[in-house]
Structure 1
Amino acid sequence: MDNLEKILSDIKGADENSKAKAKERLDNLAKPLGSLGHLESIAIKISGITGKLDNPMKNRHLIIMSSDNGIVEEGVSCCPQNITLIQTINMLRGITGVGVLAKHAGAKLKVVDIGINADVEYPGLYNKKIRKGTWNISKGPAMTREEAIKSIMIGIEMVEESVREGAEVLGTGEMGIGNTSTSSAVLIAFTGADADMVVGKGAGLTEEAYENKKRVIKQALEINNPDKNDPIDVLAKVGGFDIGGMAGCFIGAAYYRIPILIDGLISAAAALLAYRLNPLVVDYMFPTHCSAEPGYKRIMEELKLQPMLNLDMRLGEGSGCAVAYDILDAANDVITKMATFEEATIVNDFLVDIR
């Protein structure tokens, strides 16, 4: 774990001086103080990451982690496991929700096989497979500790590549049947939340299947007894390779000082894992939309973050990130292109003179 420990220890928080300069600029724009709300806080936060006032977000990358989960054996999903493989390929074909929305946003989609339960090769697919899916967490750990660390390092490596390619903002997404169960287990392990309050119906379970899902998650936590003070232990015992990979993306974004977007529940669970490994990573995270999954709001409370949008979305895949890229652009245009009171007064004087 030496490399991961070094990366975590080298992460620095936001540049508070740059944030103060951004706030000063925004407070002097020709508008009521704070009247652009969350757009202003986004602009300030981005400046704290980059150290600059002007931060165009045209080079956009969206990293998708695809992996299967052994817990599907317990009937926690209404979808068959091979949907993970099918939809992963369909992402690359550009015909899934995130495929369409990423194209709309002009974002480069980087799809990673970190643990699909099949032998698969497809043009553009990153082969980073740890193995063919995790073990069934209702019977024992999801993975070994070494595999948990490896999944995180894969995410960091993907961010490193994107930074080399000039990415200015990152998004996170996933594909993995059963991963609302693993995400809920991770959330409960860290927070002690009541399963009845934070476990959702995922892709649309019947009431009977929903009750079974909650029972299975409770059983997994009881059998594995993850140590909430050891985030790697939580990931290894009740998480998934996709969650570890996305956690690595959040850690990598903080290490390389680049903004990164949170999507829905699974992405948020990965963000919580990264936060527990180093709380400073939250300075680089931007939640995109308020997922309809009940556990999402609890994670936002833990991270003390506020989503940009509420579109009643629960698709996952990184779809919320693709929709939200332009909001970051809008925040940047506000701070760089709006006139200050002084500049606006000059314009007004000119208009008076020609009347």
Structure 2
Amino acid sequence: MSGELLEGTIGRIVPVDEDARERALAWQDDLTKVPGSLGDLEAFGVQLCAISGQCPPPLPSPGFVGVFEGDHGVQAHHVSPWPQEITYSMGVNLAGGGASVSVLARHAGADYRLYNVGGLKELPEGERIVNCRVAAGTADLSRGPAMTREQATSALEIGVRAALDAVDGGARALAPGELGIGNTTPAAALIAAYTGGSPETVTGRGAGANDEMLARKTRAVAQGLAVNDVASLDALGVLAAVGGLEHAAMAGFVLGGAAARVPVVLDGVIAVSSALAAVALAPEAGGYLFAGHLGAEPGLAVAIERLGLSPIIRLGMRLGEGSGAALALPVLTAAARIMREMSHFSDGRVSAEQES
């Protein structure tokens, strides 16, 4: 791909509507409740108004979960206890409806699709599978760039197109998900690079790393940051140097959602690392983001804080795939319904004195 789609998408991302936000705040104050009594649901509803430019906001439903698959050269250092063959088998399971995110997407009334953007193997043809490999996995980020800039751009544009196609198909909220053994290592490297956090602070155990494996993983992150001199790189250069093909595609998915002015609900540490890349490329994209949940990975909290988000749910989840985002989608819809369906004091049915 040439990069024209990416450039054009970034050019279409506008700030969220602050006039709509002000209208939404006044609207919330007139709802028949004590101000602030619905906690973060109120803030989420206001943000949905700012995103859409409407008050009350449209329902962020149906949702669409785009799951992006990739494998990683850094797994040569055994940063994950699982063999890379698991990426393929989990992809087949997810597309067949048996993965956690498959179940939770159905629960949320959301469609989902798997994009094989960087797996070692082609996936079997199927209704929910899109084989669009840029490469058969990345290079080892601890020894040099994981991707070329051209590969990163191609993966970004795959994510952009997936988002735009989903919105054109009727999706009103997007949730990026992922599959890829070893992908929390590039996620930690991206978070460290974009936030300035130390490898020790942002690197977690992922899918069950023991102490020795965690130490190897942290060293790989530190080596990747150093050997690629990430402090000297631009936003795309950082993504190419220490990211994964699925991370790049998820970043493009975020950018596509922001360009289409729909909310984008993030999952765990891989999703937020990708969102940091998207915001580094297009700062205004941050206004379209929601943090689906706060899980156990240490880098997740660091990235959420940098993005200025408040988690929708806190259940200690750490599975990935987009599962936390899919579970959060109905809560975001509830926030919109509060804005759309709750009575107002100005209707005269309830007085503010009675409510207090």
Smaller-chain TM-score bracket: over 0.9
Indicate the residue corresponding to 2:67 in structure 1.
Answer: 64
Q: Deviations over 1:150-182 (max 9, x none)?
A: 111111000111111011111110000111000
Specify the SS of the correspondent of 1:275.
helix
Q: Shift in Å at residue 57 of structure 1? A: 2.9
Rounded Cα–Cα distance in structure 2 between residues aligned with 1:281 and 1:339? 32
Indicate the residue corresponding to 1:172 in structure 2.
Answer: 176
Rounded Cα–Cα distance in structure 1 between residues aligned with 2:206 and 2:350? 54
Of 38, 44, 49, the residue aligned with 1:36 is 38
Q: Shift in Å at residue 347 of structure 1? A: 6.0
On the 8 A contact 2:122/2:131 being kept in 1, the answer is no
On the 8 A contact 1:140/1:223 being kept in 2, the answer is yes
Rounded Cα–Cα distance in structure 2 between residues aligned with 1:131 and 1:183? 19
Gaps of at least 5 residues in structure 1 are 349-355
Which amino acid letter does the alignment assign opposite residue 84 of structure 1? T
Indicate the residue corresponding to 1:353 in structure 2.
Answer: none
Specify the SS of the correspondent of 1:346.
coil
Q: Deviations over 1:262-319 (max 9, x none)?
A: 0000000000000111111011101110021000111112111111111000000000
Q: Shift in Å at residue 3 of structure 1? A: 3.6
Rounded Cα–Cα distance in structure 2 between residues aligned with 1:160 and 1:110? 14
Q: Deviations over 1:191-245 (max 9, x none)?
A: 2211111100111111111111111211122111124651111111110001000
Q: Shift in Å at residue 40 of structure 1? A: 0.9
Tell me the TM-score normalized by structure 1.
0.95
Which residues in structure 2 correspond to 1:178-257 (within 5 Å)? Answer: 178-227=182-231, 230-257=234-261
Indicate the residue corresponding to 1:46 in structure 2.
Answer: 48
Rounded Cα–Cα distance in structure 1 between residues aligned with 2:350 and 2:33? 15
Gaps of at least 5 residues in structure 2 are 352-356
On the 8 A contact 1:39/1:331 being kept in 2, the answer is yes
Specify the SS of the correspondent of 1:222.
helix
| Residues 1:118 and 2:121 are matched in the alignment | yes
Kindly, what percent of the aligned residue pairs are identical? 36
Shift of the 332–136 alpha-carbon distance from structure 1 to 2, 3 Å rule, reads same
Specify the SS of the correspondent of 1:153.
helix
Of 72, 75, 82, the residue aligned with 2:78 is 75
Judge which range, 222-231 or 162-171, deviates more: 222-231
Which amino acid letter does the alignment assign opposite residue 33 of structure 2? K
On the 8 A contact 1:89/1:122 being kept in 2, the answer is no
Rounded Cα–Cα distance in structure 1 between residues aligned with 2:40 and 2:335? 9
Indicate the residue corresponding to 2:100 in structure 1.
Answer: 97
Count of residue pairs the alignment pairs up: 347
Shift of the 347–2 alpha-carbon distance from structure 1 to 2, 3 Å rule, reads closer
Rounded Cα–Cα distance in structure 2 between residues aligned with 1:74 and 1:148? 23
Tell me the TM-score normalized by structure 2.
0.94
Rounded Cα–Cα distance in structure 2 between residues aligned with 1:83 and 1:297? 27
Shift of the 3–100 alpha-carbon distance from structure 1 to 2, 3 Å rule, reads closer
Q: Shift in Å at residue 7 of structure 1? A: 2.1
Shift of the 184–57 alpha-carbon distance from structure 1 to 2, 3 Å rule, reads same
Which amino acid letter does the alignment assign opposite residue 329 of structure 2? Y
On the 8 A contact 2:263/2:290 being kept in 1, the answer is yes
Indicate the residue corresponding to 1:269 in structure 2.
Answer: 273
Larger radius of gyration: 1
Across the aligned residues of Structure 1 and Structure 2, the Cα RMSD in angstroms comes to 1.3
Rounded Cα–Cα distance in structure 2 between residues aligned with 1:228 and 1:14? 31
Which amino acid letter does the alignment assign opposite residue 321 of structure 1? A
On the 8 A contact 2:92/2:123 being kept in 1, the answer is no
